[in-house]
Amino acid sequence: MGDALARVLVVDDNEVIRQLIAVNLQLEGFEVHTAVDGEDCLARVGEIQPDVITLDIMMPRLDGWVTASRLREDAATRAMRVLLITARAQEDDVRRGQEIGVDAYLTKPFDPTELIRLVRDLASRNRAEQAG
């Protein structure tokens, strides 16, 4: 895979936050795609084939929990790294995420450098597994 850019799918129903995440990742050199909610994410994930998906929990139609579960249930998307972005990372949330198989959490309001560090870490872990 060489130095191909890691591809990230940013899923958030809030346009301001979606753009904030996308811009921060683009500035770091990631190839960024966006989706407006869980349904949009699931509809497009096959064509985009992201290394990492950032997923807001509170979204209309399909929330982050259901979306993450569907991603894990499908063999085609099971290996994609999922970063849940939540306004409330309580213990129950973390436990629920572990049961689903979420890779990492970020609590709002978040520090962009922390976002970038997590995405980079998940992307490199994903690549290492694919290579190995």
Query: In the numeric block, which tokens belong to residue 46?
Result: 């096959």
Terminal-to-terminal C-alpha distance of the chain? 12
Q: Is residue 81 part of a domain?
A: yes
Q: Is residue 2 part of a domain?
A: no
Using CA atoms, how far residue 54 sits from 43, 57, 78, 132, in Å, is 15, 10, 15, 24
Q: One-letter amino acid identity for 48? A: I
Decide if 18 is inside a domain.
yes
Q: Is residue 98 part of a domain?
A: yes
Q: pTM for the complete prediction?
A: 0.92
Q: What is the pLDDT of residue 75?
A: 95
Task: Report d(CA 42, CA 68) in Å as an integer.
Answer: 10
Q: Identify whether 72 is part of a domain.
A: yes
**Residue 46 belongs to domain spanning:** 7-131
In a domain, 79, yes or no: yes
CATH number of residue 59's parent domain: 3.40.50.2300
Number of domains the chain contains: 1
What pLDDT does residue 2 have?
45
Q: Is residue 1 part of a domain?
A: no
Q: What is the mean pLDDT of each run of 10 residues along the chain (132 residues)?
A: 78 95 96 97 96 95 95 96 87 89 92 96 83 72
Classify residue 22: in a domain, yes or no.
yes
pLDDT, position 10:
98
Q: Three-state SS for 124?
A: helix
DSSP codes, 64-111: HHHHHHHHHHSTTTTTSEEEEEES---HHHHHHHHHHT--EEEESS--
Residues written for the chain: 132
- Residue 128: the pLDDT is 77
